[in-house]
């Protein structure tokens, strides 16, 4: 069922499932106005250099803070990373507000502003709240946030400092979502919940376009290139679904052929509804009971886009697996110590997933593999206590005798 683009949309009015935005891709291909070479020549220092396939009539409409164009870093082959010959890390912590959520919010807020929205609302267990706060501020909108009580303190603080109306809820993000739905109906806010409006997905899909550009530059070619494997942490799933949509669009545009990266979906062991559905062979996921994990972005017990994630993983020949909290925290430390990247817990999870997949033989060491670090580890400092650090008395001339050096 088609829906008009000149008014606000949430879920499909017929089936109540996510709506996906469409573009005249055949027309773009015919004109030759949107090619890799043309994109490279553009001066926009943000993801809006891909504006031809984003929800704007022109770049000047964009509500932007300079998001996107994040680095693709080759992993140094040291320590546990030595087993990988072609491992790369796409580091989304460089985005405004410190996570990939900025990509979705720039697109969603841009479209909402164009259609006259004055107030937005959403549930968030972390980074989406901060992104919504600051993009709404940029657009001059009010922002209402409903967050679980155990949301990381840094996420709560950045939203409060930004002036959002923050409400803490004694429940999970799914419980917060129910309150958002009631509030939108009662107060007229526009619902920006994950995949309950079409355009956060559009911003997230630019990660797929950027991969094609990143690898073309790496290989010094004018032809878009994609990796063999993409490993992604999935809560609500817009990042994974968005990239899969981007690959489909790129094929229609003539940028790439039919070959796709194998998509790997990673969830926390104690909140893994999509992994369970993948293993059971079902197209929809049941609510995960008693969901818990220190990786706030993965604490999503039910996702409206479950079938979209599962379709992408299965159609790509990919897989889905879980990581324990202990493993993902170890992954954060390993990325920090061996790669110089202070990753979020979700980033630690995808690294440990890569190790498991190589150990099982599913992933070959020579395959070109991309790990997505979706946010900054600094927002999760509360998970890493420093312990009792030594305090030196600088007045004591012998204080350095207490210092021991490694190596």
Q: Is the pLDDT of residue 191 over 90?
A: yes
36's CB contacts (< 8 A; 6+ apart) are 212, 213, 216, 222, 223, 224, 255
What is the distance between the terminal CA atoms of the chain, rounded to a whole angstrom?
A: 65
In CATH, which of 3.40.50.1370, 3.40.50.300, 3.30.565.10, 3.40.50.1100 is domain 72-97+198-379? 3.40.50.1100
Q: How much of the chain exceeds pLDDT 70, in percent?
A: 99
pLDDT of residue 406: 45
* Arithmetic mean of pLDDT, 173-202: 94
pLDDT of residue 5: 79
pLDDT of residue 402: 74
* Arithmetic mean of pLDDT, 282-305: 95
Q: Distance (Å, rounded) from C-alpha 50 to C-alpha 36?
A: 10
Burial of 333 (0-12, 13-18, 19+ CB in 10 A): middle
How confident is residue 11, by pLDDT bands cut at 50, 70 and 90?
Answer: confident
User: Over the stretch 129-182, which tens digit does the pLDDT of each residue have?
Assistant: 999 999 999 999 999 999 999 999 999 999 999 999 999 999 999 999 999 999
pLDDT of residue 17: 84
Q: Please, what is the angle between helix 101-114 and helix 127-139, to 10°?
A: 30
Burial of 99 (0-12, 13-18, 19+ CB in 10 A): buried
356's CB contacts (< 8 A; 6+ apart) are 321, 323
Q: Distance (Å, rounded) from C-alpha 124 to C-alpha 176?
A: 8
Q: Distance (Å, rounded) from C-alpha 291 to C-alpha 325?
A: 12
- CA 138, 246, 293 angle in degrees (round to 5)? 70
Which stretches of 188-299 are DSSP H helices?
A: 199-218, 238-253, 273-280
Q: Distance (Å, rounded) from C-alpha 33 to C-alpha 39?
A: 9
* Arithmetic mean of pLDDT, 68-75: 98
Q: Tell me the residue length of the chain.
A: 407
* Arithmetic mean of pLDDT, 392-401: 90
Domain ranges of the chain: 72-97+198-379
pLDDT of residue 333: 98
| Nearest alpha-carbon partner for 164 in 150, 141, 184, 144 | 144
How confident is residue 6, by pLDDT bands cut at 50, 70 and 90?
Answer: confident
Chain-centroid distance of CA 229 in Å reads: 16
User: Over the stretch 84-127, which tens digit does the pLDDT of each residue have?
Assistant: 999 999 999 999 999 999 999 999 999 999 999 999 999 999 89
Whether 90 contacts 243, CB under 8 Å:
no
Q: Is the pLDDT of residue 7 over 80?
A: no
pLDDT of residue 19: 81
Q: How much of the chain exceeds pLDDT 90, in percent?
A: 89
User: Over the stretch 312-369, which tens digit does the pLDDT of each residue have?
Assistant: 999 999 999 999 999 999 999 999 999 999 999 999 999 999 999 999 999 999 999 9
How confident is residue 405, by pLDDT bands cut at 50, 70 and 90?
Answer: low
Average pLDDT in the chain? 95
Q: Is the pLDDT of residue 407 over 80?
A: no
- CA 75, 105, 153 angle in degrees (round to 5)? 75
How confident is residue 15, by pLDDT bands cut at 50, 70 and 90?
Answer: confident
Backbone φ, ψ for residue 264 (5° rounding): -110, 125
pLDDT of residue 318: 98
Whether 237 contacts 302, CB under 8 Å:
no
Burial of 52 (0-12, 13-18, 19+ CB in 10 A): middle
């Amino acid at each position: 069922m088609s829906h008009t683009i000149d008014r606000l949309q949430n879920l499909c009015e017929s089936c109540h499932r996510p709506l996906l935005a469409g573009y005249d891709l055949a027309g773009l291909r015919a004109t030759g106005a949107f090619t890799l070479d043309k994109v490279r020549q553009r001066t926009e220092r943000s993801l809006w250099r891909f504006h031809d396939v984003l929800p704007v009539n022109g770049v000047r409409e964009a509500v932007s803070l300079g998001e996107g164009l994040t680095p693709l870093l080759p992993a140094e082959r040291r320590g546990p990373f030595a087993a990988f010959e072609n491992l790369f890390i796409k580091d989304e912590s460089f985005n405004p507000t410190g996570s990939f959520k900025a990509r979705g919010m720039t697109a969603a807020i841009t479209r909402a502003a164009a259609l006259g929205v004055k107030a937005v609302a959403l549930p968030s267990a972390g980074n989406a709240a901060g992104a919504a706060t600051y993009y709404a501020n940029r657009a001059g909108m009010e922002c209402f946030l409903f967050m679980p009580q155990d949301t990381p303190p840094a996420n709560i603080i950045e939203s409060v400092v930004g002036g959002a109306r923050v409400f803490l809820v004694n429940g999970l993000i799914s419980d917060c979502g129910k309150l958002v739905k009631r509030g939108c109906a009662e107060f007229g806010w526009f619902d920006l919940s994950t995949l309950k409006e079409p355009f956060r997905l559009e911003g997230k899909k630019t990660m797929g376009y950027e991969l094609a550009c990143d690898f073309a530059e790496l290989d010094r070619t004018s032809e878009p290139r994609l990796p063999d494997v993409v490993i992604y942490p999935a809560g609500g799933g817009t990042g994974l679904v968005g990239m899969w949509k981007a690959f489909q669009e790129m094929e229609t545009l003539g940028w790439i052929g039919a070959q796709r990266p194998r998509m790997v979906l990673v969830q926390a062991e104690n909140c893994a509804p999509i992994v369970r559905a993948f293993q059971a062979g079902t197209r929809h996921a049941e609510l995960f009971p008693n969901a818990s994990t220190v990786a706030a972005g993965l604490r999503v017990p039910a996702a409206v886009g479950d079938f979209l994630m599962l379709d992408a993983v299965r159609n790509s020949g990919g897989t889905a697996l879980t990581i324990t909290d202990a493993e993902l925290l170890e992954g954060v430390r390993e990325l920090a110590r061996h790669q110089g990247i202070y990753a979020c817990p979700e980033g630690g999870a995808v690294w440990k997933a890569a190790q498991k997949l190589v150990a099982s033989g599913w992933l070959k060491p020579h395959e070109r593999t991309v790990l997505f670090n979706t946010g900054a580890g600094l927002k999760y400092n509360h998970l890493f206590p420093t312990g009792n650090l030594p305090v030196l008395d600088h007045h004591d001339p012998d204080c350095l005798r207490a210092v021991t050096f490694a190596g």
